[in-house]
Amino acid sequence: MPINTNSINHIRLTVTNIERSRAFYEGIFAWPVAMEIPADTPSKDQARYAFLYGGVIYDLGQSLLGLRPVSTDGFDENRTGLDHLSLAVTSHADLDAAIELLDGFGIGHGGIKDIGSGFILEFRDPDNIALELFAPKAP
């Protein structure tokens, strides 16, 4: 019998510099922090939060996204593993607003593309991880 699932619980991305990655993700997304291990965490409590690996986990509403500072080699979607992360937005107007925000931060992007079932906006994080925003077409 197959395993039945109904959503993604969480995704964790490995990053080369947690401070730089946090500045990027917190600068462009309004995700609240669900969990982190603060620098001043008493050593007696650090074992309790060891699963965070010195990173952070954001609450996206229906799922979680974590950043884990371990990688030193950078991202390549042509290796086995993650190809890209696609995040849903409500409308084409959200993509227009995202372009303004990305341009304001000097973050390159591919412009809005019509892919048939909706529209996408592609860009990359500081570790070159491919990110995409997806907006469905209006009914």
- 101-110 residue pLDDT tens: 999 999 999 9
State residue 34's pLDDT score.
93
Based on the fold, state whether residues 102 and 57 are members of the same structural domain. Answer: no
State residue 69's pLDDT score.
85
Based on the fold, state whether residues 63 and 1 are members of the same structural domain. Answer: yes
Shortest CA distance to 125 belongs to which of 16, 37, 33? Answer: 16
Return d(Cα 58, Cα 34) in angstroms, integer: 5
Mean pLDDT across the chain, nearest whole number? 88
Decide if 76 is inside a domain: no
The mean pLDDT value for 111-116 works out to: 96
Residues 6+ apart with CB under 8 A from 101: 28
Based on the fold, state whether residues 65 and 1 are members of the same structural domain. Answer: yes
Q: Domain count for the chain, please give it.
A: 2
State residue 73's pLDDT score.
76
Based on the fold, state whether residues 116 and 65 are members of the same structural domain. Answer: no
pLDDT tens profile 38-83: 666 666 666 776 667 778 999 999 999 999 888 677 777 777 788 8
Residue labelled with tokens 């996204």: 65
Based on the fold, state whether residues 43 and 102 are members of the same structural domain. Answer: no
State residue 42's pLDDT score.
62
Decide if 78 is inside a domain: no
pLDDT tens profile 40-52: 666 666 677 666 7
Based on the fold, state whether residues 131 and 98 are members of the same structural domain. Answer: yes
Q: Which domain holds residue 115?
A: 83-139
Return d(Cα 61, Cα 31) in angstroms, integer: 9
Q: What's the pTM value of the predicted model, to 2 decimals?
A: 0.85
Based on the fold, state whether residues 98 and 41 are members of the same structural domain. Answer: no
